[in-house]
Structure formats: structure tokens, C-alpha cells
Amino acid sequence: MHRLPEWTDLRYFLELARAGTLAGSARRLGVEHTTVARRIQRLEAELGTPLFDRHRGGYGLTEVGQALLPHAEAMESAALAAAEQVGGDAAAARGRVRVGAPEVFGTLVIAPRLPALLGDNPELSLDLLLLPRFANLANREADIGVTLDPPETGRYVVSRLAPVRYYLYGTRAYLEGRPPIRSRGDLSRHTFVGYVEDWMLSSGLNFLDELGVVPERRFCCTGMLAQYQAAIAGVGLVMMPPYAAAADRRLRPVLADSLFAERCFWLVAPADLFRLRRVRAVWDFLRGVAEREPGLFVR
């Protein structure tokens, strides 16, 4: 009979399963990559079966490893909850929470409002991941994700954060130097700033195809911040949500009453992490921002 694995060994198993490489899991654990390799070898010897397939790109789970994964995640959840309970006041939010969010949303919506969250929770810390893609919650890259595409499978808590409208904006100098825009048809004589089509984070970011004309994409990039700067420089018209553009008087809305793309932001967290007080504190903070300030998302 094989000895039951220890939780400390299963932590190494979980991090390697999520990171896919010894170096990546070692960084997350704060140890040398040789330590990770040694602990995985010991765990596989104890269980009498390989848990990973080694290949040039890293490590992938075997069938047995896939079967072990949900049990290890349940043990991790229980360990985190126990640590939170014995750490003092069970009602207090303490520890570090990672939030994955689109770059401009995180920069202009989350970051400026952090004093309220951190002031109410003096033992809470937050890591804000402004990634060039939506955070991968399956490998625990983040504890909470703000996304346009809620997961269709997996053990997650999902909540609608806010409807969001993307409006068309241009600078005064650009608009005054080009033909007037009185209807959608007039847009055919204008240039646009947008996303690189085959590098979009989500198909939901393909706003320009909803304009009713074939847009002349004069400048495309993979992030909204660069689009914003290009529009400010007068390169062309750009579609953005109010939180990104409304506070900048250099940008003027175009046909705002009739021309916009409507989407929805979602909050997503792994179900086991959602049990943690610190995760729920950040979750409730984000929902509170959306409820108190709907003008950030819809004009």
C-alpha cells in the first residue's frame, strides 16, 4: 500500500500543474527548481505512478495527475480557509489577493479607488495584474478576474459586474479638420484606431465591425492605452468606454446617442477561493464601485 501524500508535496504538485514548468512553479513557491523536481519525484514514488508527462515545452498532467488535481485543490482550499480562521478575527480580511483586469480598467477604475478598500482592511494587500490578455484563473494566475467572457465550464463563482458601452470619440482638432459626422454613413470618410484583429483578447472587442461601414483602420494595436494615446494625437476615431475617455476633455463623443457597442463585464473567481474572506472583500469592493458609479460604464 502506498503512503498517502503530504499536503506540502501536493502544493508542489499543484504549482507545477498550473505553471507547466519547473522554473515557473519554483518562482511561485519561492524555492529552487531542483527542489520542485525532487518533491515531484518523491510524490510520484509514493503514489507509484507518474503524475506528469515531461516534454520539451514543460510538464503536462497524466491521466492520474488529472484525477488527483481536484482533490489537491480541495485540500488547498481547506488549508487556506483554516489559515484564515486561525489567523485572528474571522470577519477580518487579511492577506494578499490577485486581481486580473484589462489594463485601462485596472488603471483608471480600480487603482484610484483603492484607498477605500485598503483603509477599511488594513491587513489586506492587492496585486493588480494588467495583462495583455485576460487572467488564466484555471492555473490560479489570479484570484479574481474581470472579463468580457465568463467561463462556460469549471468550478467558478461568476457575477455580472456591469453593462459597458463603447462609444466613438475623436479630438476636437481631428473632428474640425475632417468632413462632418451627422450619420453612420459619414464615417466612411474617416480613419480609425482599433485592435489588431488576430490578437484580440476577446471577440467582444471587435467594436469597429458594428459601425455600419467598413472602417479604415489607420492604426491598430493590442491594448486600449495605446489606442487612447493615438486618438489623442489625432490619428483617428476610437471606441472606448466612458471610464477611459469621458474625463479627458480632449476627446469628444461622436453620435453618442445612437452609435455604441454594448458589452458586459463579469467578475469570476474559483469557487474554492471565493470562500476566503479576503477574496470576498475585494469582490464586494469591485461590485460596490460598479453599483455606485454606473456612469463609468454607460453615459
- In the predicted model, what is the mean pLDDT of the chain? 89
- 157 Rama class: left (phi>0) / alpha (psi -120 to 50) / beta: beta
* 90, pLDDT greater than 70: no
pLDDT at 181 (0 to 100)? 96
Q: CATH code for 95-160+265-296?
A: 3.40.190.10
The mean-pLDDT minimum among 18-32, 154-168, 231-245 falls in 18-32
User: How far out from the chain centre does Cα 215 lie?
Assistant: 28
- Take residue 154 and report the three cell numbers written for it: 469549471
The topology under which CATH files domain 163-263 is D-Maltodextrin-Binding Protein; domain 2 (3.40.190)
Each residue's pLDDT tens digit, 91-121: 568 888 999 999 999 999 999 999 999 999 9
Q: Above pLDDT 90, what percent of the chain?
A: 61
Each residue's pLDDT tens digit, 227-270: 999 999 999 999 999 999 988 889 999 999 999 999 999 999 99
- Output phi, psi for 163, to 5 deg: -70, 145
- Take residue 24 and report the three cell numbers written for it: 515557473
Range(s) within the chain of domains with CATH label 3.40.190.10: 95-160+265-296, 163-263
* 173, pLDDT greater than 80: yes
* Closest CA relative to residue 103, chosen from 135, 58, 77: 135
Question: What radius of gyration, in Å, describes the C-alpha atoms of the chain?
Answer: 23
pLDDT at 5 (0 to 100)? 75
Which DSSP string corresponds to the chain? -PPPPPHHHHHHHHHHHHH-SHHHHHHHHTS-HHHHHHHHHHHHHHHTS--EEEETTEEEE-HHHHHHHHHHHHHHHHHHHHHHHHTS-TTS--EEEEEE--HHHIIIIIGGGHHHHHHH-TTEEEEEE--SS---TTTTS-SEEEESS--SSSSEEEEEEEEEEEEEEEEHHHHHTS---SSGGGGGGSEEEEE-GGG-S-GGG-GGGGSSS--EEEEEES-HHHHHHHHHTTS-EEEE-HHHHTT-TTEEEESTTT-EEEEEEEEEEEHHHHTSHHHHHHHHHHHHHHHH-GGGT--
Range(s) within the chain of domains with CATH label 1.10.10.10: 7-86
The owner of cell 462556460 is 152
Task: For residues 285 and 242, give the distance between their C-alpha atoms in angstroms, rounded to a whole number.
Answer: 20
Task: For residues 168 and 227, give the distance between their C-alpha atoms in angstroms, rounded to a whole number.
Answer: 12
Task: Specify burial of residue 152 (Cβ count, 10 A radius: 0-12, 13-18, 19+).
Answer: exposed
- Output phi, psi for 64, to 5 deg: -65, -40
The owner of cell 477580518 is 92
pLDDT at 18 (0 to 100)? 84
Q: CATH code for 7-86?
A: 1.10.10.10
pTM value is 0.76
* Closest CA relative to residue 262, chosen from 164, 195, 184: 164
Who's near 223: CB < 8 A, 6+ residues apart?
103, 104, 132
Task: For residues 41 and 226, give the distance between their C-alpha atoms in angstroms, rounded to a whole number.
Answer: 46
- Mean pLDDT for 220-232 is 93
